[in-house]
Amino acid sequence: MDISMPWGSSCLNITLPPKWSFTREILPEDFCPRTSINSMLEHALENPIERLPLSCRSLAGVKIVIIVDDTSRPTPVNLIFPQVLKQLLRGGARKENITIVVALGTHAPLSQAEIYNRLGTADLDGYRIINHDCYDPEMLCSLGKTPDGAEVVVNRELCEADLIIPIGTIEPHLLAGFGGGLKNVIPGCAGMETIAATHLMGPASERFSSVGRVGEECPTRLRIEAGAQMVPGEYFLVNTVLNSRGETVGVFCGDPIKAHRAGTQLAAQIYGKVVAEQADVVISGSYPMDIDLRQGTKCLPNASAALKEGGLLIAIMRCFQGVGDMTIPDYFLSPELTRIFAQECGTEKIVEIRSRFCAQMSMDDRYMLQFLTEMCRKHHILVYAPTIPPDTGSRLGTFELFDDINVLLERAAELVPEARVVYSLPHGGLSYIRCEQ
């Protein structure tokens, strides 16, 4: 039985072991745009959810912050930003009162050329543009704690603004259920202590199983929203939902919670699938999150809920920029030993022990090791990623890495000689599976 997985501009054909019974290919729903993004955006901006349209306001003396996500997200900012700016100017906003903040979280800053390209216009004279820096105390402001005790530290520009406009995209997310909404504020424009409070919140076994969860089902999302709403200004959300081809199929504007919830319903329709039983093997592709290893690993939790504990998860990762900015530690334990010890001691304990050997382990490093260790605790993981260094898998100690798909399949047949239920998830960077059991 041959299956096909997206691979750059072509496909990778995979011949499954003879004693595996292929069950089904799981693809996102093929939603097509009913109209242009400009028409959708214009309608959503003029009919926002529980907010006054931007163009109908008196904005002459209003201090405004527009938040845009960075290039690691698929948001069509270059199409959205010019229209939002036009609406603001129509409402009387003045250039000197508008600040544009790039929500980087812990990511590297964008160059001026990258920002101008992201915003879709070179006519930005008179506007303040800032790369958020989660490490710069001069850029940050403390707002106290959420009801559950999380420290809320965010970009000072947001705290001094009257109107805040987060521009983003609603897509499945392993911690927050779905991206978008106020996630551009926390962690996008937060200080490191606040980013850590969301990324390292609660047991790993619960935290990394939140894909597709909404509202009360997702504690991390609730903490994000509670913290972001401590910012005194008014939010006016502008979020898109994209189909699997990256085309905009929905625009949701207005109240940051209600508009986001409306958008998640559409995103769940497109990307969420329910299966009748858990599989022995799931083959998950990183498409369209093909940039680097950090993005590529999203195909692991998106497939995990449809796989039996101890089942085999095969990840097909394009990673055309290699490991990207992800830190690869020194060798610690093999994936098999990591799995055994994590099952005995828990994921957090393994990462705690490992951190003693890595004095400079950052929050990002700790988070990624927790995530990968939790995936390893639950499943055997084989990764095909020929663009990353061959020792990456052994140094991370959480998966076996291959640069030859046929060698990987030989190993897979050793681990699982016979498989009764096998799923493929070609768009595993965004699509996710949940089991109805």
Nearest to 158 by CA among 101, 217, 238, 89: 101
Give the residue carrying structure tokens 């597709």: 212
Encoded tokens for 289 = 């999150």
CB 301 within 8 A of CB 174: yes
**335 Cβ contact list (under 8 Å, min separation 6):** 376, 380, 381, 393, 397, 398, 399, 400
Give the residue carrying structure tokens 């002459």: 60
Cβ count near 395 (within 10 Å): 14
Nearest to 234 by CA among 166, 150, 169: 166
Regarding beta strands 2-7 and 10-15, do their DSSP bridges make them parallel or antiparallel, or are they unpaired? antiparallel
- Any idea what DSSP says for residue 51? S
Cβ count near 308 (within 10 Å): 16
Burial class (CB in 10 A: 0-12, 13-18, 19+), 425: buried
Encoded tokens for 270 = 């497109």
User: What gap in Å lies between CA 198 and CA 217, rounded to an integer?
Assistant: 15
Fold of the domain spanning 37-269: Rossmann fold (3.40.50)
Domain extent listing, the chain: 2-28+276-435, 37-269
Instruction: Determine if residue 105 is left, alpha or beta; phi over 0 gives left, psi from -120 to 50 gives alpha, anything else beta.
Output: left
Encoded tokens for 426 = 């070609």
User: What's the pTM?
Assistant: 0.93
Q: Provide the β-strand partners of residue 129.
A: 100
pLDDT given at position 364: 86
CA atoms within 13 A on the CB side of 286: 21
113 SS3 class: helix
User: What gap in Å lies between CA 324 and CA 387, rounded to an integer?
Assistant: 11
CB 244 within 8 A of CB 427: yes
Cis preceding-peptide flag for 386 (omega within 30 of 0): no
User: What gap in Å lies between CA 433 and CA 365, rounded to an integer?
Assistant: 27
Q: What is the mean pLDDT of each run of 10 residues along the chain (437 residues)?
A: 94 97 96 94 97 96 97 93 96 96 94 95 91 97 94 97 98 95 97 92 86 90 96 98 95 98 97 96 96 95 96 98 91 93 93 79 88 97 97 95 98 98 97 85
- Any idea what DSSP says for residue 177? E
Encoded tokens for 281 = 């093997």
Fold of the domain spanning 2-28+276-435: 2-enoyl-CoA Hydratase; Chain A, domain 1 (3.90.226)
User: What gap in Å lies between CA 207 and CA 3, rounded to an integer?
Assistant: 31
Distances (CA, A) of 140 to 134, 221, 271: 8, 22, 36
Give the residue carrying structure tokens 């050997």: 357
pLDDT given at position 359: 65
pLDDT given at position 13: 96
pLDDT given at position 437: 59
Encoded tokens for 389 = 């260094």
User: What gap in Å lies between CA 224 and CA 233, rounded to an integer?
Assistant: 16
- Any idea what DSSP says for residue 394? H
Q: Dihedral, CA atoms, 292, 298, 304, 310, nearest 10 degrees?
A: 30
User: What gap in Å lies between CA 213 and CA 157, rounded to an integer?
Assistant: 31
The vertex-294 CA angle with 393 and 256, nearest 5°, equals 155
Encoded tokens for 413 = 């047949």
Cβ count near 195 (within 10 Å): 21
Helices (H) and strands (E) in the chain, counts: 15, 21
